Homo-oligomer: A and B are copies of this chain.
Amino acid sequence: MSENQTSKEGCSCCCSKAASMLPLFNPKSVAVVGATEKPNSVGRTVLWNLISSPFGGPVYPINPKRPSVLGIKAYTSLLECPGEVDLIVVCTPAKTVRGIIAEAAQKGVKGAVIISAGFKEIGPEGAEMERQLAVEAAKTGMRIVGPNCLGIMNPVGGVNASFAPAVALPGGIGFISQSGALGCAVLDWCLDNGIGLSCFASIGSMMDVNWGDLISYLGEDENTKCIAIYMESIGDAPSFLEAAAKVSPKKPIVVIKPGRTAGAAKAAASHTGSMTGSDDVLDAAFKRVGVIRVTEISEFYSMFNALSRQPLPQGNRLTVITNAGGPGVLCTDALLLTGGVLANVSKETVEELNTFLPSAWSHSNPIDILGDASPDAYAKTLQVAGNDPASDGLLVILTPQSVTKPTETAEQLKKFGQIEGKPVYASWMGGGIVAEGQKILTAAGVPVFAEPDTAAKVFTTLYNYKKNLEAISAPAEPTATAEEGAKARAAAAKIIDGVRASGRTILTEYESKKLLAAYGINTVQTEIARTEEDAIKLAEGMKFPVVAKLLSETITHKTDVGGVKLNLQSPEEVRKAFVEIKTAVSNNPKWGPQHFQGVTIQQMVKQEGYEIILGSSLDGQFGPVLLFGMGGQLVEVFKDKALGLPPLNTTHARLMFEQTKIFKALKGVRGRKSVDMKALERLMVQFSLVVAEQPWIKEMDINPLLASEEQIIALDARVILHDLDTPVEKLSKPAIRS
């Protein structure tokens, strides 16, 4: 793609990122700093790779000690190169790199790939060297890939600025790897399986060029049909999320990221020198921006295989054509368990198949065309079934029975292997007998999977990607007008400012509820009583029974100090409760009278309905993270919860709810009516807005939120602020830029 094309398309913000990547992937000239003839050295391999895969411009070896390297005239420094240099590849020791980058900036170099290791991954000293590089590069806006990477490739443009063993085939997949070694393995696998790439980038320690830059670039690159990522750490999360959210609706983004277990996260941390965040949060973030996450390497390969050769399915109805029942049944299990369905075979299709198939064919899906199916029967069946509008994709299974002709069948089938808007997959099962047929189909653009159940799961994974994209972009309902929003923000900020002004970071339950109420969240009526008489008066103004709870500016776990008295039926019981709470706090050796600021009197709410928890806490990489889940005494046993990133709209809220089991109960089970789900969505959105708009909030929860068919009401709430002296840049900030 030329710069010219890029500037015509796309949005301005992505274009600037994408445009700054062009000198890296489409350089007109390249210098190799540290080029050498030493066998097996990186400097030699990089130079050799660049010249043996011509991209159309000159390559300058930089080596102060030699007149030439590998027969090409060498220069003592970048500044001596005769023409402009777009890109440099740096292969020299870490301590030399700062000077090279400074020189490159002086020369007007636009991009650098730093292969050298010995930076952030070795500790603080290395991190400081990285910081200095960044300062030098920032002077001219030079973009840097690495350090500590394998290099980059643009196989379509013929650029191989890496020390990988071989250049990739040109093709449609943009592959970014945070592990050079895994990158090598995947590149070799791709070569062996005839899969082409539009780009390969070993991203190294991401001191400058990061996920967001590369995703934006590949999103604009017309050769790239989809993006595949091996990720160890997300780094700048907002940048990743913004780019991924923009690109995923037009190009699938597949990510494999280890660290699902604490043990693996630890291994990764010691490996890359970067902290990994909570994996559940990462999952929620990926869902929010439409990224396809796979967990096994074989799935990652399967995605390359399917996405490089076939279109995405438009629905979840798969048609299976097979010469045996067993494999059809196994793949039906896989299909149904992952969200797919067997396509109905329409009456017209059945009639057409009847004209040439033996009468014993299954007459339903899986379309079993029997053990002696001929190549011709296979080909015709695919042609006919492929035209059935009730099908969204096809899987052709062959088992090598006594009269089966795997090679001839592949040969005849291949001409029907590309259908507009529907993927066609194949599974030629077995070993040596089916190998030639597998090659024929692969070469014809029909991906072959060793097992049919794998193929079925690929189909549903890609369908689920599409479904998730539709879900996250579904229209949402407004929850407040701009005026209401501004009013809520101001009222809440005032409460928070007041608490901070009094030197506190913990809101009382009373203040917490007022804060929620400012955003329109329904809370149980709660009033402050400083004296026994006040308490009785307030209780009499409500309806008995009431609840009395400790009012304290310092104690958050009220139950632990005997600070909660439920089900008070009379003025006398209220008086007694007041005295008991006061005495308990005052006589508590850990606390004392100064921690008692009175009690709150609240209406006792009938405990019918479901107890729910809403929460927000800070993640090291994603900032505030929301939680919705089942509450009650079995909360830790069932761990029935969903996470989300603020701010939410009502659609996002509903998608969170749908991930929990308690959602089914809320919608009504065993004759109970449904909770007002629309109201619950609005409440969740408003809760997310408190978190997104009030940066001083560090933690917040409503526990429990009582949801029944009559009402949804916060019974208790807790808000904790950042330390008073927290600098602005350390306050809570959502990773989603809305």
Contact = CB atoms under 8 A, between A and B. Distances in A.
Interface in A342-364: 342, 362, 364
A163 B401 CA distance: 9
A258 B332 contact: yes
What DSSP secondary structure best describes chain A's contact surface?
helix
A454 interface: yes
Contacts of A451: 296-298, 301
B636 A670 contact: yes
A661 B633 contact: no
Given A371-B181, A401-B181, A332 B264 contact: yes
A462 to B, nearest CB: 18
A325 B188 contact: no
A113 to B, nearest CB: 15
A42 B270 CA distance: 61
A264 B333 CA distance: 5
A73 interface: no
Nearest to A192: B431
A181 B263 contact: no
Contact of A402 (B45, B333, B341): B45
Contacts of A193: 431
A633 B610 CA distance: 11
Contact of A399 (B182, B337, B431, B662): B182
Contacts of A191: 431-432
A12 B268 CA distance: 56
A371 B180 CA distance: 9
A591 interface: no
A336 interface: yes
Give the interface residue-count category, chain A.
35 or more
Interface in A171-223: 177-182, 184-193
A725 to B, nearest CB: 36
Contacts of A263: 332-333, 335-336, 341-342
Contacts of A297: 327, 330, 429, 450-454
B327 A185 contact: yes
A40 interface: yes
A611 to B, nearest CB: 11
B637 A184 contact: no
Interface in A22-67: 40, 42, 45
Contacts of A637: 661-662, 664-665, 669
A173 to B, nearest CB: 15
A328 interface: yes
Interface in A384-441: 399-403, 429-435
A518 B189 CA distance: 67
A333 B259 contact: yes
A503 interface: no
A320 to B, nearest CB: 9
A206 to B, nearest CB: 15
A200 to B, nearest CB: 14
Interface string A629-642: 00001101110100
Interface in A259-296: 259-264, 267-268, 270-272, 295-296
B326 A182 contact: yes
A646 interface: no
A523 B180 CA distance: 66
A637 B670 CA distance: 10
B328 A267 contact: yes
A271 B431 contact: no
A260 B670 contact: no
Contact of A330 (B184, B256, B431, B435): B256
A232 interface: yes
A163 to B, nearest CB: 5
A595 to B, nearest CB: 23
Nearest to A406: B188
Interface centre among A182, A187, A326, A364 (most CB of B within 10 A): A326
A323 interface: yes
A557 to B, nearest CB: 13
Contacts of A298: 298, 450-451, 453-454
A213 B260 CA distance: 44
B669 A453 contact: no
A454 B301 CA distance: 13
Nearest to A261: B336
A368 interface: yes
Contacts of A325: 179, 181, 232, 267-268, 271-272
Contacts of A362: 270-271
Q: Which 9 A-B pairs have the closest CB atoms?
A: A192-B431, A181-B324, A179-B326, A271-B325, A188-B430, A185-B429, A297-B451, A182-B326, A261-B336
Given A178-B326, A181-B371, 20 more contacts: A179-B324, A180-B324, A180-B371, A184-B400, A185-B327, A188-B400, A189-B430, A232-B326, A258-B333, A260-B333, A261-B333, A261-B336, A267-B325, A271-B326, A296-B451, A297-B452, A298-B298, A633-B665, A633-B670, A638-B640
Interface of A: 40, 42, 45, 163-165, 177-182, 184-193, 230, 232, 256, 258-264, 267-268, 270-272, 295-298, 301, 323-330, 332-337, 341-342, 362, 364, 366, 368, 371, 399-403, 429-435, 450-454, 633-634, 636-638, 640, 661-662, 664-665, 669-670
